[in-house]
Amino acid sequence: MDTSTICTKGIDYYGVLGLNKCASNLEIKDAYRKLAMQYNPERNKDPGLYGLFTLVGEAYEVLSSPLLKAIYDQYGEAGLKKGVVTPYGYNPPFVYHGDPIRTFKEFFGTSSPYADLLTSIEKPPRMFDFGQGKALKQKEKPFVKPLLLKLEEVYHGGLKIIKVQRKVYRDELEDVADIQEKLLNITIPPGIPPGTQITFPESGDQGPSVIPGDIVFVVEDRPHPVFKREGVNLSMMTNISVEQSLVGTVLVINTLDDRTLRVAITQVVTPEYVKVVHGEGMPYPKDRDKKGDLHIKFHVEYPKFIPQNSKKMIARAFAYANAQGKEEAKLEAWGKIVQDDKISRMIPPPPAVFNNQPGIVQVGPNVFLQPPPMKMASLATRNQSFAPVNSSVPPPILPLDKHAY
């Protein structure tokens, strides 16, 4: 490589690799392979050559990418590293990562320049023919795709069929490709953890000069309207009223396997309280007969308005409960206060005596009752019967107050 390729106008990446601008993709790979093996620090111990090794890696990174190569051919190094506006939008500046060993490893599959010699007997490298001889096939980068699974699918497991499309290049120029569809069968074991990678080796794009890349599916949980997975446990949030948080309630929960759970909440629900139902979580990946737990969290909904009478009743209930000196009494006080209130409503109040006269009783607006003459002495008895008096004509025996009308 001629060091004159580094000039004030920028780096001549073609000159770094000893190529001209008409070089094909295969020629670029072949030139990089030779120079990378020559300047690799493990083979060449001269520390002054490490800069050339880095420059060779940067040149290959640019010229092996069709987009970067096109920008470099049109705008040079300055346009490549400053960013340019193309018909397809703004292309950000190119910055080489500065690690030539990383470039070497991505190209050869290892950082050792002797690896191909050590493994060539057991695993001979794949070669392809081109006009001037043979060249080493390079494996394409893996194609990573998320695999969204419902919690029901994770709970039961099963088989999932995914249709993928891949390119099949017709010749070594890799400029014309056919689209091929392929069905992949993915086995889902019960309780498969999120983040699990399911790999289909060499199922990616095909071509005469490359080894197809792997297709990798990464398991992710699809959001569920009720449950959320936390390891092997399930968690859920439910809304309850203040009354339910204090006196208890029964939750009806539909499980992932279409069963119905009735969970009794008997304790006072505090903001930190979590109800744990054992054995109602997700299956353990390595033991399908063992399951995690269900964690139920609560959101207490408070009323927007409470009447004054209800507030007094609530205050009486808490006062009564606090007087008992036990936590259980706080729950029992509610029932006692409500029961006392119902009983007091069932007993009718005693009739009001009109104008402090025991003989005439007013029971409503302009309505008076007078007992029969023979039972005047028993007026004070609550169960005594009364005869109605015409309210329009006041009784002659009493001077009625005008305000009574």
3-state secondary structure 260-299: EEEEEECCCCCCCCEEEECCCCCEECCEEEEECCEEEEEE
Mean pLDDT on 30-56: 84
Range in 106-110, 249-253, 366-370 with the lowest mean pLDDT: 366-370
Q: Which of 34-48, 106-120, 244-258, 355-369 has the highest mean pLDDT?
A: 244-258
pTM here is 0.48
Three-state DSSP state, 300: strand
pLDDT value at position 100?
86
Nearest to 213 by CA among 106, 128, 134, 115: 106
- Residue 163 vs residue 327, higher pLDDT: 163
Task: Return the CATH class of domain 3-125.
Answer: mainly alpha
- Residue 3 vs residue 245, higher pLDDT: 245
The answer to whether 189 touches 287, Cβ cutoff 8 Å, is no
Mean pLDDT on 322-336: 59
pLDDT value at position 133?
46
pLDDT tier at 339, thresholds 50, 70, 90: low
- Residue 125 vs residue 228, higher pLDDT: 228
pLDDT tier at 385, thresholds 50, 70, 90: very low
Q: Is the pLDDT of residue 129 over 60?
A: no
pLDDT tens, residue by residue, 265-276: 999 999 899 999
Residue 362 β-bridge partners: 368
For the chain, what are the domain ranges? 3-125, 139-221, 227-301, 308-346, 354-404
- Residue 225: which residues within 8 A CB-CB, separation 6 or more? none
Residue type present at position 402: K
Q: What is the mean pLDDT of the chain?
A: 76
pLDDT tier at 282, thresholds 50, 70, 90: very high
Same fold, 3-125 and 139-221: no
Mean pLDDT on 43-65: 86
pLDDT value at position 232?
94
The answer to whether 386 touches 360, Cβ cutoff 8 Å, is no
Range in 21-25, 55-59, 326-330, 375-379 with the lowest mean pLDDT: 375-379
Mean pLDDT on 268-293: 92
Q: Is the pLDDT of residue 311 over 80?
A: yes
Burial of 133 (0-12, 13-18, 19+ CB in 10 A): exposed
Q: Is the pLDDT of residue 48 over 50?
A: yes
Percentage helix, strand, coil for the chain under 3-state DSSP, each rounded to 5: 30, 30, 40
Range in 34-38, 106-110, 123-127, 400-404 with the lowest mean pLDDT: 400-404
Backbone φ and ψ of 239, nearest 5°: -100, 135
pLDDT tens, residue by residue, 130-151: 444 455 567 778 889 999 999 9
How many helices (H) does the chain have, and how many strands (E)? Answer: 10, 24
Q: Is the pLDDT of residue 367 over 90?
A: no
Nearest to 69 by CA among 27, 128, 127: 27
Fold assignment, 139-221: HSP40/DNAj peptide-binding domain (2.60.260)
Q: Which CATH number among 2.60.40.1260, 3.40.50.300, 2.115.10.20, 2.60.260.20 corresponds to the domain 227-301?
A: 2.60.260.20
- Residue 275 vs residue 373, higher pLDDT: 275
